[in-house]
Amino acid sequence: MGYRQGWKHATACEYDTMNINCTGGTVIEMKTAWYGRVVPHRKECNGSSQHMSGSCPTNEYNIRLFREACHGKPSCSVNRGYNIPDPCNLLKWTEFWYDCVPGKPSTS
């Protein structure tokens, strides 16, 4: 899935909380999510003494967790405490692409 211009984007470091809010009677429509570390020299979340080299890509399980937490809801909070498995021993971050669309909040 490509990332379209106009989609909203949220980012959070591994131990931070990512808060997403839609307003005006709209709900979150998740487009895609990512959790891991791909570019070792990227400056994202470099404030830790943890190892910064290597790669740690996301997996479908993590994407499903983000969808369950946020899709169809007016707001959500996701953090490392949301039962996200640790795919490697590197400091990671979350990226979440979404849009706010008219709709009734999900009950799940």
Q: Give pTM, 2 decimals.
A: 0.74
Q: What is the pLDDT of residue 71?
A: 94
Rounded Cα distance, 41 and 53, in Å: 8
Position 1 scores a pLDDT of 44
Provide the residue-wise pLDDT of the chain in tens; the chain has 108 residues. Answer: 446 667 998 888 877 888 999 999 999 999 988 877 766 545 567 655 444 556 676 667 777 888 899 999 999 988 765 556 666 777 777 888 999 999 876 665
The set of residues, in sequence order, having a beta carbon less than 8 Å from that of 17 and lying 6+ positions away, is 77, 78, 79
All structural domains of the chain, each given as residue ranges with its CATH number in brackets, are: 8-101 (2.60.120.740)
Number of residues in the chain: 108
Q: What is the pLDDT of residue 20?
A: 94
